[in-house]
Amino acid sequence: MKFRQVFLQSLKLPSKKATFSLNRVSMDVTIIYMFILLILVSIPAFIDRIVENSGVSAELNIAFLIIYFFIFYYLPMAVFVYIGVSIIAYIGLRLAKLMERKLQFPLLWKMSVFIATIPFIIYTIIALLLPVDDMLLGAFFVYILIMLFFIISIYPKRRK
């Protein structure tokens, strides 16, 4: 499935058709999709670095600024987002067991990435216009958990 199709299906979550369509997406496509989303999310911070007239970034030319931004902003952010997605997927795994659904961690991890599409887009738009408060990130975390609950409930219960 191409990234455009993955993106469009991610916007339709938690519909049953979108969920099962994204279920068939391979993990490598999911990881690359997540990197693309993270590039989108980091655009406002990169613009801030470019227009900033003080500090280390003011003295660097554009090539070094890109390298500096990648090393000290994008990579740490990617690590924290992947840890966050893993925590959400683990919570989803526990929730699936409580709901008596037979789901595996990799599937819940992929679904967590796809659910994060809308919050990442909203974050990017808001960050371009206004300073972002940490409460917004907490709201996105809750949104992702609620959507994951709806996706888990789409799958049938275990047979006994």
pLDDT of amino acid 118: 95
Number of neighbours of residue 136 by Cβ within 10 angstroms: 15
Contact 37, 145 (CB under 8 A): no
CA angle, residues 55, 60, 66, in degrees to nearest 5: 105
AA identity, residue 133: D
Per-residue pLDDT at 52: 76
SS3 157: strand
d(CA 114, CA 48) in angstroms, rounded, equals 27
Each of the 160 residues of the chain gets a pLDDT tens digit; together they read 589 999 999 999 989 999 999 999 999 999 999 999 999 999 998 988 888 766 666 677 778 888 888 999 999 999 999 999 999 999 999 999 999 998 999 999 999 999 999 999 999 999 999 888 878 888 999 999 999 999 999 998 877 6
According to DSSP, residue 12 is labeled: T
Q: What whole-number distance in Å separates Cα of residue 117 and Cα of residue 48? A: 23
Record the pTM: 0.89
Q: Give the pLDDT score at 37.
A: 95
